Every structure is written in structure tokens, then in C-alpha cells.
Structure 1
Amino acid sequence: MTSNTQPRAGTLRSFFPDDWGLLLASFGYSQAIGLIIYWTLPLFAGALGTWLGLTATQVGLVGTIEFAGLFLGSVALAPFMHRVSRRKTAWLAAGTVVLANIGCAVLPLSFSTLIALRLLSGLGCGAALSIGNATMASSADPDSTSGHVTLLLIALMIVLQPVEAAISAQLGLRAVFWGYVVIVALASLSAFFVPEPARDEPVHTAAEPSAVSPLRSASGILLISVALLFGLRDTLPWLVTEKIGTDAGLSVQQVGTVLSAMYAVSALGPMLQLVLARRMPSHWLLATGILGAGLFLGMFTWANGSAIRFIIGVVAWATIYFLAYAQLYAAAALFDRSGRVASAAGGAFIAGVAIAPSVGGILVDQGGFDAMGYAEVALTVVMVVCSLCVRTTRDGAPV
């Protein structure tokens, strides 16, 4: 359902959403349900290793299986997003995630049982991610909605990370699963605000022939490719951030302090996106965000023993990363208001995240952090070129 309301002008007013219900539905399903495991992955992985005695390989396999389910759930639903009952699908997706986590909390957890339940949870999260991204595409102003969703995400992470760490340390792994049940159950209530696709309106895409599905159009393919590479590139050094920091002379505790500061400062990223989205073409803002994040990503990957370069690089990278993250989904929503491209982009992003550990391990084994840095540069160049070739409704094409 696409609104005819025009986006509001003005820098101050851009910090306040037009539709709180639609914003909560977009955030609840895309982030608080769809990507809850991704955003808490380090703590979740640590809890699995500590409380179940899993090896690093087994923990990695659990994560890979869950992300595979997330990817499959998202991309399987994406082509039908303009036809399915989004509200019923939202309830089904959230219920699946809740039941899977209740199973993890109450059943005897053999490794095979854990794998099966995390796959089920991943499938539900993937469907929820598609619903959330499609809901954002239905908003009157996807630029603004995406920026506000990212702001809420950062606020959730600032609160959730220390709480989950405390729960894991004091109450154990099963309490962590119950925590996920509570978060998902609360976020699922936003399904009341999920809009159904309008069956009497044409599907709007930007600057593409009407006979071409947005998922098979040039701009659609480019946006989905950017999402895949973005998930890959920015996860590569994130997995070894602690190692890069300690090599730069910081203690593990000091690295943790830097990461806490990073989350606090990174809220500036989506705030900047909210302002710049009114002043720059969508594809230029996306390309600029990807390039800026890439520059600072290289800065801390190539810290080469410099604590100052590591600290500045991590904090600045996270800030611009969230600008680019918000703009990526805004661009996908602006290109295809039916939500299919935004849904597929979410799945592609997770696919990039899923293959990053293997790619990163090969790069570091073959050439150390220098090789990883060169890979980041190459991925950045490809993404910037692809972004500049995309055209969305914000870039002048009629909606």
C-alpha cells in the first residue's frame, strides 16, 4: 500500500516520523525480529560455547545454519510480497521464531536438536525481515522511515547488548532464549500496523519497463548485488575487530570500551542520513555512504599497530556504516514500492554476512590483514559503481 502523502521538508521535522505505527512495524519485523540474532551474534555465539561446551567449529555451524534459514525465508517470500497477506504472514513468522526459541529454552539440547530449532528460527526471522522491509517500502517517505528504523536499531543495541551479557553470565543460556522470546513477542504486536498490499493499485518501480519484474530489472539486480557485497565487506574485519585492536596495543577491555563508544556515536549516522536524503539524489547518497564507510573500514583494518588509527577508524566506520545501511534499504524501497526488492535485498545482505567468515578466514590465512584490506577496497569500488548506476523515484523518475 503506497501512500500519496508527500514527504515533509525541513531539517528539524525530518527527525520525527510521519507514521509511528508503520515505523514500529518496519522496525519490529525487520530488526527486532528479523535480524535480532545477527545484531547480538557475538554474545549469542559466546553463550553457546560457554554453556553448551560447543567448539568454535560447532558454534560457527549453528550460526551458518541459522543465517541460511534467514536467507531462504527472506528470498522465498520476496517475489510474492505484493500478493500475500502481510499481516497474517507477520504473525506466522513471529510465531515460528517464538516457538523455536521456546523449544531451545525448554527441550534437552543435543547438537542436532539445536541445529533444527535454529534453522526453524532462521526461516521465521527471514520471513519477518521481508515483511519489515516491505512495510518500509509502503511508507510515504522510505528515506525517512529507513533512517528512523536505523535509529531505533541503535537504541535497541545500546540497551540490549549489556542486558543480554548480564543475563547470559548470571542466568545461563536458557534465559537468553527466553529473552529472545520476550523481545520477539513484544515486537510482533506491531503486526497490527503492517499494511496490506493494495490490490487495486499498480506496482510502482522507477525508470524500468512495466513488463519487467523489479527483481529482474537492471536497477533491482544492482541493488540486490550491493546488499550482498555490503554484508560481505563490512563483516570481514568486524569478525576480527578484537584481534586488530589488541595488535594495535589495546587490551581486550579497552577494545570493549571503544566498541561501546562506537555504538553511542553511531547514532549520528542515521541522523545524518535523514538530513542528507532531502539534499542528495538517492543513488549518490548511497554511493557516498558506501565509499565513506569503506575508507574508515580500511583505516582500522590497516591499523598496523596504531591505536589511534584503530579507534578513529572503528568509530567513524560505524557511524557512516549506519548511514549507508539506512540508505541502502531506502533506495530499494524507493525503486520498488511493492517491497519485493527491499525484501530480496535483506536476504542478500544476510547471504553476504553468512559467507564473510569463510572469505575472511581465507584472506587472513593467505595474506593477513593486508589482504583483507585490499579485498575491502575492491568490494568498495564495485559497490560504488553499482550504486551510481541505480535510479530510484527520489532521483527524478515519477512514482
Structure 2
Amino acid sequence: METNLSATTAAEANPGTARDAAARHGALGTLALMIAHCAGMVDVVALPVWVGTLIGAYRLDPQQAGLLPTLFLAGAVVSSLFFSPRLNRLPSRVAATLGFCVAALVFFGLASTGRYPVMAALHAVAGIAAGCGLSFTHGTFGRSRNPHRLFAIAGLTLGFFAIAFLGITPGVIAVQGGQTLFRIFAGVMGVAAITSALAFPSLRPKRVAATPAEPRFDRAVWFGMAGVACMGLTQAMMFSFVQRIGLDRGFGFSAVTATLIALGFVNLFPAPIAGLLELRIPGRRVVLAGPLVQAALALVIAQSAAFAPYAAASSVLVAVMIFTHTFAFGMLARLDGTGRAVAATPAMLMTGAAIGPVLGGTLVKQYGYGSLGIAAALIAAMAVFCFSRLERRPN
């Protein structure tokens, strides 16, 4: 089933109207987009298990372990920066399918090596490939009839994926070894490649000769993108070490795993709630409050010596990011009707997220876990400043 999202003649003359002319995706197209979103955003779910496995199973120190996901995320940033401006000029289904297919093959290769230089190179290549698929996924979101609502559905889907991943993967890795993590990643990317090939909505490339140069982003768009990147940095920095903080403070494997599963269940709610509240809460208020709440939770996780506050803060850490980013996504989609800004969502999130694991690992190695909370507070201040530059609009 193929749903054409090509613009009408009028829309081709003005890229800003592309979203208004977009057709409905249909059930299969939406399903393919949801699966692609989960695959491309696997780091949001997997970082604590990813870093924890690299430390526990591969015997890497925190800095080395943090660097590998950083290379994956850096590759995704570079890929997104390259492909997002080309959203309206390349075949979306083909690009998404090839991206996830290459990522699957690379992760399968990672499962068969333990040499650090090879692992580093393969992480970067996997990030480039997955970033390509995710850029076209989010660009297609941005050219839908209601980007805010579609992104909210994607957040709910990611919550279900998180429950399955965090509930199953740690136990499987404990029994079968660290290489199992990369086989699971390969399977996730492979499923995304297959569903993208069969049902990914098709954005027909525009005729370049008939289309004037697309306008530059407004300053508010750039500030909004920087604010999302700051939140992504805090998210990745803290989430990478949630598992290790709990284990190193003696909370026990079962208790920490239960916390991660609870996190997955909590993640089911912020996206649909954000979708329902789209017209009831000004988006600007949400994006200004989000970084502050995120920093408060980070301080609790980093400083707590007791299990209860650690578990409570950890279980809602990702939910704050999902809720805030859903509103930020909708605001950016309205500010830029071409879809290019939201197609750069991987670059926004992963610019910060790419720095997060290695920054967190360096801070932990030098100053201990408590330093993560202080860093989160400083980054939150930058995020609030960036979001404050967004125009005062109803949403």
C-alpha cells in the first residue's frame, strides 16, 4: 500500500503549503512510521542497558562505554544534517528502507566483534544509517495533517516498545551475553526496514526546476531546535547511567530492572496526554517548564542514596522529555511548514544526546555520580533561555 504525499501544483510553488496538501497516511502507512520511529529512537529506550552492558559485559570504563553510543548518535546527527534539507527532493520510502537495512547489517556485525576500534567505527556507521531513516520518518510526520497528534501517537508507541525492551533485554543479556544486545538492535532495525519497504508513506520528490529556493529558518526555529538539543543532552547524560547508579549504590539488579520496566509503563502516558492537551495548554509554557522539571529529577537521581526517590525520579525522567518534546515538535512544525525543521529532529535530539553519554562518563570517572545533577541544572538554564526566544503563540 503506497500513499502519495506529493504536494499539489500550488504547494510545489510554495513549499510552506506542503503540509496542508499532504494526504492521509492510512493504517499501514502509519504503522510503518511508528515502527520506524521506534527503531530510529532506540537510544531513547536503550541507553541505560546499552552503557550498562558495555561496562558489565565488555569491561569498558564509563568513559569508553559512553563514547560508543556517542559515536552512534554523532553519526545520526551528521546523517540528519545531510538528509533533512533534502527531504522534499529524495524518495522517502527508498531512503528510509535503505537506512534501516544498513543499520541492521551493521548491528549484526557488531555482535561478532569485541575489538574496541572496530566497535567504534561500526557504531558511527550504524548511527549514520539509522539517522537517515529517522530523518525521513520525522519529515513525513511534519508534512502530515496534524504533526503534533502524529508525534504524540509515536510517543505512545515508543512507550510500548520501551516496556518490551526494558522488560526482556536485561535478563536475556544476563543469560546469553553482551553480544545479544546488538543482535536485538539488528532485529529492531530489520523489522523497520521491512515495514518501510512495504508501507512507508511516499513523499514524491519535488521538481527542482519548478520550485523556488526554500526559505531559511526563522530565528525562533533555530532557538527552538537548540532548546530541544539541550534537553536531549541532559536526557542522554542521565539516562545512560541510571542503571549503573542503581547497581553501584547497592539497590540490586531486580530492583533496578523493575525501575526500568516502570519507566516503560510511565512512558505510555505523556505523549497521548500531550496530544489531548494540544489546544488547552500554551506550548510555550510547557517548553519553558520542561527543562526545569528534567533538571530537578536529574538532581534527585544523581544525589539520592535511598532507593525510593531514585526509583521515583528515574521512572518519570523520560516522560518529561517526551511530553515537552511533543509540544516543541508541534510548535516547530507550525513555524516551518516545509517539514525541514522537524525532519532535523534527529539532529536536534542527537546533537545533545551524542555528547551526553561521553560527557556523563567523563564526569562520573572524574567526579562521581553527583556531578551529573549539577551539570543537568546548568544545561537546563541554557534550554530555558533558548525556549524563551520562541514567539509567543497560542500553542
2:329 aligned with 1:329: yes
CA distance change for structure 1 residues 302 and 81 in 2, over 3 Å: closer, same or farther? Answer: same
1:194 to 179, 184, 201: 201
CA drift at 1:135: 1.3
1:117-128 aligned within 5 A: 117-128=122-133
2:104 aligned with 1:103: no
Question: Distance in 2 between the 1:54 and 1:299 partners?
Answer: 26
What are the ranges of 5 or more consecutive residues in structure 2 without an aligned counterpart?
6-17
Question: Distance in 1 between the 2:329 and 2:261 partners?
Answer: 25
**Percent identical:** 21
Question: Distance in 2 between the 1:369 and 1:114 partners?
Answer: 26
Contact residue 136 and residue 333 of structure 1 kept, 8 A: no
Question: Distance in 2 between the 1:387 and 1:21 partners?
Answer: 35
Aligned length: 376
1:288-367 aligned within 5 A: 288-303=289-304, 305-361=305-361, 363=363
Partner of 2:100: 94
CA drift at 1:151: 0.7
Contact residue 197 and residue 338 of structure 1 kept, 8 A: no
Question: Distance in 1 between the 2:138 and 2:148 partners?
Answer: 12
1:74 to 69, 80, 86: 80
Greater mean alpha carbon deviation, residues 262-271 or residues 189-198: 189-198
TM-score (norm 2): 0.80
Partner SS, residue 236 of structure 1: helix
Greater mean alpha carbon deviation, residues 118-127 or residues 350-359: 350-359
Partner SS, residue 241 of structure 2: helix
Partner SS, residue 229 of structure 2: helix
CA drift at 1:247: 8.1
1:213 to 213, 216, 234: 216
CA distance change for structure 1 residues 337 and 49 in 2, over 3 Å: closer, same or farther? Answer: same
Partner of 1:159: 164
CA drift at 1:38: 4.9
CA drift at 1:147: 0.9
TM-score (norm 1): 0.80
Deviations 1:27-70 (A, max 9, x none): 222332x2324532333344455665655554444333222222
Letter in 1 for 2:242: T
Letter in 1 for 2:379: L
Letter in 2 for 1:132: T
Letter in 2 for 1:42: P
Partner of 2:42: 36
Letter in 1 for 2:125: L
What are the ranges of 5 or more consecutive residues in structure 1 without an aligned counterpart?
7-16, 204-209
Partner of 2:27: 20
CA drift at 1:121: 1.3
Question: Distance in 1 between the 2:62 and 2:246 partners?
Answer: 21
Question: Distance in 1 between the 2:269 and 2:45 partners?
Answer: 18
CA drift at 1:200: 7.6
Partner SS, residue 237 of structure 1: helix
CA drift at 1:18: 8.1
Greater mean alpha carbon deviation, residues 244-253 or residues 76-85: 244-253
CA RMSD of aligned residues (A): 3.5
CA distance change for structure 1 residues 276 and 41 in 2, over 3 Å: closer, same or farther? Answer: same
Contact residue 68 and residue 354 of structure 1 kept, 8 A: yes
